């Protein structure tokens, strides 16, 4: 049975999250499907930043301890607000650093080679920055990455077979670092199962949640994930370069961070200015330098919406919208040689649809000329991400209509099949 435009309009009218679209700055002349790279600005995020500027204006240095959101405790407050998104206790999450700097911190803390147990396992499809950080840490510890970094290969170039991950775990492995969702294909890994199996081998597990936090509910505490890290500028709409976040399970509290800095101190001791580090007794100890207050402020406004909605409703709509998008692709574009590269099962799918096509780079350029904002990833992937808080069903339908027109008229042929400098 074909999906019709009228059905899409009906889904929009019944959508219990539809009013949140009004919270965002939407360019009505375009369809934004790149929220898995950079989320749109919300009015609440804007106001949170303006409020923080006011606190600087009116309080000066007293803003560290006074005002609505004292800066000295701001990272901890944002961590507490973020904790429900990943199923964590409030002390287990801190907003700090960036994805890569946080991974460096966590590697420096949890990579403790001992005897034969020297290797780090990652996947061969992981985001490059994670691999750079792992290679860097191995070199710093005196190990050759070509021998001590084990990358689980993909069988098809799209997905990672979880059995291959489990097969790689043995007494030579110290750490397992994986993405919750593969950034190209959108494959969602079984976090709980993999973590449990790794622990049976005495292996600590860290998860990169960049492509899942804010789109998928997690239970990091109950699943006994050792640590995790993520950015906040994708599904959480914290703005370009927004400060990242990390999770450390409370069972690891008491460890001294591998990279220490004064903002990781116990709050009561920080301004004693001693040359002896007294670590905070929470995940706050993994902070290094002074918090980037203005880059953190928009997240405060954004998290308020997630608190109101809850991850269950966000995930439900996300799964439905990506399902409809896939159905429309099969319904309308079957003759144009597109391949849906992401898993189609709900339990294995992240928040975006991954389309493969030999002309992907130029198709993305063509979509942009028609007012649709997609995302290109080498070698031949078009990522389309409906975001539950602001993407409508009508927009999904219109996107497929535009893509069909582009393919039928070969509009994409006017462009080169090469990525832009920023893809």
Report the binding-site residues for pyridoxal 5'-phosphate.
99-100, 127-130, 208, 211, 233, 262, 290
Name the pairing type of β-strands 353-356 and 204-208. Answer: unpaired
Give CA–CA dist 357/371, Å, rounded.
20
CA angle centred on 235, ends 373 and 337, rounded to 5°:
45
Cα–Cα distance measured from residue 256 to residue 3, given in angstroms and rounded to the nearest whole number = 56
Q: Looking up tokens 């880059």, which residue turns up?
A: 295
Sign of CA dihedral 198, 171, 211, 160: negative
Structure tokens that stand for 340 in this block:
């849906």
Question: In angstroms, rounded to a whole number, what is the distance separating the alpha carbons of residues 327 and 324?
Answer: 5
Report the interhelical angle of 99-110 vs 128-140 (nearest 10°).
Answer: 30
Whose tokens are 């997690």? That residue is 218
Query: Helices (DSSP H) in 119-161: which residue ranges?
Result: 128-140, 145-148
Task: Please say whether the beta carbons of 29 and 378 come within 8 A.
Answer: no
d(CA 387, CA 317): 9
Residue count of the chain: 423
Residue ranges of alpha helices (H) inside 244-333 are 267-270, 293-309, 311-332
Annotated binding site: 99-100, 127-130, 208, 211, 233, 262, 290
Residue 245 CA to residue 229 CA, distance in Å, equals: 6
Q: What is the C-alpha separation between 236 and 244, in angstroms, rounded? A: 10
């Amino acid at each position: 049975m074909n999906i019709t435009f009228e059905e899409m309009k009906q889904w929009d009218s019944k959508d219990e999250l539809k009013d949140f679209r009004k919270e965002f700055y939407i360019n009505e002349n375009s369809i934004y499907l790149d929220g898995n790279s950079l989320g749109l600005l919300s009015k609440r995020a804007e106001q949170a930043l303006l409020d923080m500027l006011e606190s600087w204006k009116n309080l000066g240095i007293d803003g560290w301890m006074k005002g609505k959101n004292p800066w000295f405790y701001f990272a901890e407050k944002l961590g507490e607000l973020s904790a429900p998104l990943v199923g964590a206790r409030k002390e287990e999450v801190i907003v700090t650093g960036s994805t890569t700097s946080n991974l460096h911190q966590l590697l420096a803390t949890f990579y403790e080679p001992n005897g034969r147990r020297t290797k780090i396992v990652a996947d061969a499809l992981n985001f490059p920055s994670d691999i750079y950080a792992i290679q860097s840490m191995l070199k710093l510890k005196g190990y050759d990455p070509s021998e001590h970094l084990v990358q689980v290969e993909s069988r098809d170039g799209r997905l990672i077979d979880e059995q291959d991950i489990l097969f790689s775990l043995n007494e030579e492995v110290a750490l397992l670092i994986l993405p919750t969702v593969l950034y190209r294909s959108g494959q969602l890994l079984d976090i709980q199962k993999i973590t449990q199996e790794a622990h049976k081998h005495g292996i600590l597990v860290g998860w990169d949640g960049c492509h899942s936090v804010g789109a998928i509910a997690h239970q990091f505490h109950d699943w006994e994930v050792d640590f995790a890290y993520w950015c906040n500028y994708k599904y959480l709409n914290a703005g370009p370069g927004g400060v990242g976040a990390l999770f450390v399970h409370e069972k690891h509290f008491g460890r001294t961070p591998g990279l220490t800095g004064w903002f990781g101190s116990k709050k009561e001791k920080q301004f004693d200015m001693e040359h002896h580090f007294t670590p905070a007794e929470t995940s706050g100890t993994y902070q290094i330098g002074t918090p980037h207050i203005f880059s953190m402020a928009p997240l405060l406004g954004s998290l308020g919406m997630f608190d109101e909605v809850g991850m269950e409703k966000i995930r439900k709509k996300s799964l439905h919208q990506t399902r409809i998008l896939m159905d429309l692709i099969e319904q309308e574009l079957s003759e144009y040689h597109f391949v849906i590269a992401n898993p189609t099962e709900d339990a294995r799918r992240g928040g975006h649809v991954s389309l493969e096509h030999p002309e992907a780079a130029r198709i993305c350029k063509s979509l942009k000329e028609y007012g649709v904002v997609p995302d290109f990833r080498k070698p031949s992937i078009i990522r389309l991400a409906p975001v539950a808080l602001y993407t409508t069903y009508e927009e999904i339908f219109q996107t497929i209509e535009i893509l069909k027109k582009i393919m039928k008229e070969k509009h994409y042929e006017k462009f080169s099949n090469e990525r832009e400098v920023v893809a």
